[in-house]
Amino acid sequence: MRSKRVKCRSGIEGYRERLRDAYDSFEEWQDYSDTYGLAGRLGYKTAKGAWRSNPIIEGSVIPEDFRRVRVR
């Protein structure tokens, strides 16, 4: 899946895609998640839980834009 370009909460352009499409592997995701607390910011207790759930995420170059998106 290709990432969708969206306007983030900060007002700048960012991306929206499934978590597993944004990272090359679980190991890469886990490293980023452990370093920056990303799983917790998405509402998960562990990086593995987020990976299994594979939520739609949104983000940009601004760390505060990283979030889980619920699409209707």
For residue range 4-32, list pLDDT tens digits in order.
899 999 999 999 999 999 999 999 999 99
Question: How many residues can be counted in the chain?
Answer: 72
Residue at token pair 């890469």: 28
Residue at token pair 């990303």: 38
Say how far apart CA 9 and CA 67 lie, in whole Å: 10
For 29, other C-beta atoms within 10 Å of its C-beta total: 20
Task: Provide the β-strand partners of residue 7.
Answer: 13
Locate the domains of the chain by residue range: 4-69
Residue at token pair 């949104």: 58
Percent of the chain with pLDDT over 90: 89
Could you tell me the pTM of the whole model? 0.87
